[in-house]
Amino acid sequence: MSTASAAPAGGSGRSPRRIGPFEVPAIGLGCMNLSHAYGVAPEPEAAEKLLLSALDQGVTLFDTAALYGFGANESLVGRVLSGHRDRIVLASKCGMTGVDGRRVIDGRPETVRRTADEALARLRTDVIDLYYLHRIDRQVPVEESVGAMAGLVEAGKVRALGLSEASAATLRRAHAVHPIAALQNEYSLWSRNPEQGTLAAARELGVALVAFSPLARGFLTATPPDLDGLPAGDIRRGMPRFGADHYPANLLLRRELARLAEDAGVTLAQLALAWVLSRGPHVLAIPGTRSTAHLTENLSTLDRTVPAETLEAAGRILNATTVRGPRYNDPTLAEIDTERCGAAG
């Protein structure tokens, strides 16, 4: 399914996109993997270099969360970027944190308020531009969690609110309590869940759809993850699409995409990002990376032209029907509020 005639490119690619009161480039930076989830975190000096390179290359949207590194990522972002606060749109998240070494989903109002104060201290700022509810706590009505977040706006601690991994129905409930500026859901060629409702609902409500993992957790890059080389703590070890039962078939699809990208004169990552950004003018992407070269490659997508027929072909090759395996394992899928994409989750 195509929703645009061409990927953002040339002059249009550098046009800003809106998140609530903010205008930012269509590609921001997801900061998670500088502290969390994908193997061993880089040394502080390397992480600092990456963040400053992003700033120098025009990134203004920086995305972190209390969960990432159990506070370490917010501390990193705060230490490196607090001196450039007036140049960035700073996004973080509450509602999922580390407690005694474990990941805990907790959307209770008192937890939301406490987490915000902790985040402000770590980020070395007096206000967070965009504050997301990281996960929907099934034990707490979303109206209560968002109500507490609205109180943070009234107190001047937060400027705009967002949700993450939420369905269209939940987005509408939350939006009725307080305007939601952004919905951050996984969206890529192989994760099409937003097409089940949130892509359209966000457009209708004037909400930005911020795509996390637009490069399919490194799968749609020049060097896909090597299963045997993944460190023990890498979250992809528990994701079925990277498992031995499904990964070989997915790699065959990736090869087709790589040939398509080469024929179009772009890299595979640029094709994947261009596809995401073509889904609508309200869609942004926040790929993460530890490499300044990959950062430059990702950002240069905004200066590339990808023909509509190439984007459409990419969508036919890799989609919710052709991908093998669900995006999460069963216990994690049970925690997620987003719509499912058939058998693929």
For the annotated catalytic residues, the residue numbers are 68
**Token pair in block for residue 50:** 């990456």
CA distance 219 to 239: 12
Of 211, 183, 233, nearest to 287 (Cα)?
A: 211
Sorted by sequence, the CB contacts under 8 Å of residue 83 that are 6+ apart come out as: none
Of 99, 96, 279, 104, nearest to 189 (Cα)?
A: 279
CA distance 67 to 216: 20
Helix (H) or strand (E) holding 337: none
Is 2 within 8 Å of 315 (Cβ atoms)?
yes
Q: Across the chain, which distance is largest between two alpha carbons, in Å?
A: 54
**Token pair in block for residue 163:** 């949700």
